[in-house]
Structure 1
Amino acid sequence: MPDASSPTAAALLADAQRVQRVALIALLAGAVGIAFSPIFVRLSELGPTATAFWRVAFAVPALAAWIRLEPRSTRSRPPSTRGDYLRLTAVGLFFAGDLAFWHWSIKFTSVANATLLANFAPIFVTLVAWLVFKERFSRTFVLGLALAIGGAVVLMGRSLHVSTDALFGDALGLITAMFYGGYILAVGKLRAEFSTATIMTWSGVVTAVALLPIAVVSGESLIASTASGWGVLLALALFSHAGGQSLIAYALAHLPAAFSSVSLLLQPAAAAVLAWVLLGEPLGPWQAVGAVVVLAGILLARRGSR
């Protein structure tokens, strides 16, 4: 085996660094992509669970076409065993739980509380990675994690409220974070075996099948009344899910799950900026400070992950 100073080893190291840079760009771009999802949900003519159903249902055909268009030389193996299908099903159920519990939490607590608590996923990802997978984290990474979460609290601080009447909704928000943490960890493990398109397609089918009866039971209409209403659902599916969520799944093959989950805290910061630009929702000085703190935390976690 060549030593670290040999040309071959240097070339391999350079390739690995290049792949990680591309993955980091994809991860952050994916976070921005899913930051558009609250905007689309706000504009949707349907209820939150019905909107979540169409988010994945409309994305599945595009993702399935992606599998067919992949060059054979770059395709990973297709799922073939019962274990393969069970693990892909688990990814879909984790994501269905994430969407369903987040939408339910909004009904029992404030949007700010629900969104903030849902973004506590990095805490659960880091704990599971440490306790179950025996990963070790530097003090720099832990400090970056704390800083990024603190920035998210500052970002939404003006809208947060503490009330005993909202405890149930707040608990649902934390459950949302657990489901999304499970989704990130599961995708990170499966990306070693399956392509991004394969994971997104199979998990998308499971998520849609799981969300459909929830939407029906909740009494929400599944039919948009205008063409623009269908256009919003299609944009949510293709841009935020097939686009943003797929970029995140791609990145999880090349970056640690714990760091990736911290980086996704860019989403609430980006969502606040987008709401200001597109919906006219004011962006106060404290929100700007919170966004900067989130970015600083991500950069610190990145340094602690090397």
Structure 2
Amino acid sequence: MIKMSTLLVFMWSSGYLGAELAARYSSWHMLLACRFVLAAALLVGFCVIRNRWRRSAAELEPWRLTRTGLARQVALGVVMQGMYLGAIGAAVQAGLSAGITALICSLQPLVVAAGALPILGERIGKREWGGLVVGILGVGLVVGGKLAVGDAPWWAYLLCVFGMLSLVGGTLAQRKMVAPEPVVVALAIQCTVGAVVFWALNVTLGDVIPPLTIEFGGSLLWVVALSTFGGWGAYMWVNREAGPMHVSTLLLLVPPTTMLIAWPMFGDAIGPWEIVGVVVSTVGVAVKLAGAGGTEKTPARNTEVCGPEPVERVG
């Protein structure tokens, strides 16, 4: 479990690092378009082969996708793949560092907790609310320090926050709908939607030819193999073996891990504001998780939020 948990943290961090790496060789929308085409082709192919295998096995019934299920996953794909990753990609292209992007997105479980009562009718305790406030304060310290330095325009931070909120909204909707589609099928549909969305954007902007360079090819393989399949596979395994609470806790280790890797990889300096912000956010997360020790379930335990890809509840 320790090895797979460590793998999960590093693979999820690779998503933010891959976005910053690819931004040096292509536009963010070209990277996402190519990423979704490749991921969708592999996932759809896997689903087709798996369904044919199920047909050939007498004891297994082939799984069928309903129109309602297809419409549900298309809508979720627009929000969770198009709006979320589009906003994050544009923010990174504008100069927002991988570490700051990961730190802002790490608030997803806490923001989900804030929306639990009005949307899902699930309560959280006072101590958990205290952790939420402290966690937000930590992010404010980091972002405030970066704004003072002027590393990225102010609207890049807003784009990142918008992307995070889009993923939270999509995940809460997914939680409320209790979608029955298998995870691999849901991801295949959403990646296909992402491919359509971002290739349509490429056509609109007149950017339809991917960079035919080794650097771009390497960054594309990075985000597909490490970020999509590596992070996704590790997440699913840890979630099945240890549960959603363990997964949510591990993913909150992504921001400091991303910052540490981005330091030698991109030369992103780690200043005092980042250190203070990470410490304060970590304290907030610790307080929040300590407050979740009761019997009440919270979205942070039952809803998988936190990454470039949506995840259904397992088990």
Query: What TM-score range do you get, normalising by the shorter chain?
Result: 0.7 to 0.9
Give me the whole-angstrom Cα distance separating, in 2, the residues matched to 1:53 and 1:190: 28
Q: Show structure 2 runs of 5+ residues with no match.
A: 294-315
**Using a 3 Å threshold, how does the CA distance of structure 1 residues 192 and 81 change in structure 2: closer, same or farther?**
closer
Q: Is 1:287 aligned with 2:274?
A: yes
| One-letter amino acid of the structure 2 residue matched with residue 55 of structure 1 | R
Tell me how far 1:42 sits from its aligned partner: 2.7
Give me the whole-angstrom Cα distance separating, in 1, the residues matched to 2:3 and 2:124: 22
Which of 17, 22, 26 in structure 2 is aligned with 1:39?
17
Identity within the alignment, %: 22
Tell me whether 91-100 or 280-289 shows the greater mean CA deviation: 280-289
Tell me whether 213-222 or 27-36 shows the greater mean CA deviation: 27-36
Tell me how far 1:112 sits from its aligned partner: 8.2
For the aligned residue pairs, the C-alpha RMSD in angstroms reads: 3.9
Matched with 1:96 is: 82
Residue-pair matches, total: 280
Tell me whether 267-276 or 282-291 shows the greater mean CA deviation: 282-291
Q: TM-score scaled by structure 2?
A: 0.70
- 1:255-266 residue pairs with structure 2 within 5 A? 255=244, 264-266=251-253
Give me the whole-angstrom Cα distance separating, in 1, the residues matched to 2:215 and 2:98: 27
The Cα offsets for residues 192-222 of structure 1, whole Å up to 9 and x where unpaired, read as: 6333322222211112211211133234454
**Using a 3 Å threshold, how does the CA distance of structure 1 residues 63 and 289 change in structure 2: closer, same or farther?**
farther
Q: TM-score scaled by structure 1?
A: 0.72
Q: Is 1:302 aligned with 2:304?
A: no
Please say if residues 77 and 193 of structure 1, whose CA atoms lie closer than 8 Å, have aligned partners that are also in contact.
no
Give me the whole-angstrom Cα distance separating, in 1, the residues matched to 2:91 and 2:14: 20
Give me the whole-angstrom Cα distance separating, in 1, the residues matched to 2:62 and 2:140: 42
Please say if residues 99 and 259 of structure 2, whose CA atoms lie closer than 8 Å, have aligned partners that are also in contact.
no
Q: Show structure 1 runs of 5+ residues with no match.
A: 1-21
- 1:134-213 residue pairs with structure 2 within 5 A? 134-161=121-148, 169-188=156-175, 193-213=180-200
Give me the whole-angstrom Cα distance separating, in 1, the residues matched to 2:94 and 2:175: 32
Matched with 1:86 is: 71
Please say if residues 5 and 238 of structure 2, whose CA atoms lie closer than 8 Å, have aligned partners that are also in contact.
yes
- 1:41-56 residue pairs with structure 2 within 5 A? 41-44=19-22, 45-56=25-36
The Cα offsets for residues 111-148 of structure 1, whole Å up to 9 and x where unpaired, read as: 58983655554454234321021110012222222333
Please say if residues 144 and 299 of structure 1, whose CA atoms lie closer than 8 Å, have aligned partners that are also in contact.
yes
Please say if residues 55 and 237 of structure 1, whose CA atoms lie closer than 8 Å, have aligned partners that are also in contact.
yes
**Using a 3 Å threshold, how does the CA distance of structure 1 residues 207 and 240 change in structure 2: closer, same or farther?**
same
Please say if residues 136 and 281 of structure 2, whose CA atoms lie closer than 8 Å, have aligned partners that are also in contact.
yes
Give me the whole-angstrom Cα distance separating, in 2, the residues matched to 1:187 and 1:26: 26
Tell me how far 1:154 sits from its aligned partner: 3.4
Please say if residues 155 and 269 of structure 1, whose CA atoms lie closer than 8 Å, have aligned partners that are also in contact.
no
- 1:48-67 residue pairs with structure 2 within 5 A? 48-64=28-44, 67=47
The Cα offsets for residues 5-44 of structure 1, whole Å up to 9 and x where unpaired, read as: xxxxxxxxxxxxxxxxx7x997885454232223222322
Tell me how far 1:240 sits from its aligned partner: 0.6
Tell me whether 26-35 or 169-178 shows the greater mean CA deviation: 26-35
Matched with 2:313 is: none
Matched with 1:129 is: 116
Please say if residues 16 and 99 of structure 2, whose CA atoms lie closer than 8 Å, have aligned partners that are also in contact.
no
